[in-house]
Each structure stands twice: as structure tokens, then as C-alpha cells.
Amino acid sequence: MSLKDQITEDMKTAMRAKDTARLGTIRLLLSAMKQKEVDERVVLDDAAVVAIVDKLVKQRKDSIAAFEQAARQDLVEIEKAEMVVLQAYLPARMSAEEVTAAVQAIVASLGAKGPGDMGKVMGAVKTQLAGKADMGQVSAAVKAALAG
């Protein structure tokens, strides 16, 4: 079963269970997926769905930071609950050591040296680690690998 089908089934399950918070988050995700399909006239594969989920999780993290700064704990809790639902659709995340090792292997295979090659390395890293690792963490690992 594709990830897209799994999300649709989860929506039906949430409807039957009358789980409104989960249902709202899943509908938001399905809406974002449908928007991408319509805008780009494509059928999403699992990798594209993971990219959308990753983007929505990042938005939740940014919102949580903003709401915490504004002392709006009620909104922080809502965003955290949505983030938990969304993270269920992401593949298992890589540890910091795994990210560093993967980045170093890619840097070595490309023969990249110095900060000038950052764009080339990030392009290769994004294709291999998209959805598997936090891109902020990946970017820091690339900078460290190119600086050393």
C-alpha cells in the first residue's frame, strides 16, 4: 500500500472514531498533497508525499517556536499534537552520527573541497537523505565536512 493510500485509510479510520484533531491534521495533509498534484499535474509517489509531510512538520516547528515566544501555550499544544500525527508518516530518522557518516561519504565521492562546493554537495545530499534526516542537521554536517 502506498503512503498516499495509507493516509486516506487513516482519514477514514479517524472519521469513524470521531477523532476530530487527528482528522483535521490528516485532511490538512491530504489537501497539501492534492494542491501539489493539481499545481504540477503529477501523481505523487511516496518520496513526494514524504517531502510534503516534512515541510508541514517544519512549519509546525516554526509555529511552536513563535507561539512559545508569545507565551501562547494553548496554541503550542495544538501544533505539537498536529506534529505527532504528521511525524507518523515520516520514515525513521537518522541519528546525528549516521547523518555525519553519510555526508562525509557523499563529500568524498564528489571530491568536494571547501565551502564553495556547498551547493553541489547539498544537492546530492538532499536526494539521498530527504525525509530520512532533519535538513538543518544535514546542512550543519555538510558545513563541518567542507570546513575540515
Q: What is the pLDDT of residue 112?
A: 65
Mean pLDDT check: name the lowest of 2-11, 28-37, 135-144.
Answer: 135-144
Domains of the chain listed by start with CATH number: 3-87 (1.10.1510.10), 96-147 (1.10.10.410)
Q: What is the pLDDT of residues 105-131, one digit of tens each?
A: 887 777 767 666 677 777 777 777 766
Residues 6+ apart with CB under 8 A from 141: 96, 99, 100, 103
**Global pTM?**
0.72
Q: What is the pLDDT of residues 56-84, one digit of tens each?
A: 999 999 999 999 999 999 999 999 999 99
Per-residue burial over 73-109, b = 16 or more CB atoms within 10 Å of its CB, e = otherwise:
eeebebbeebbebbeebeeeebeeeebbebbeebbee
Q: How confident is the model at residue 148 (pLDDT cuts 50, 70, 90)?
A: low
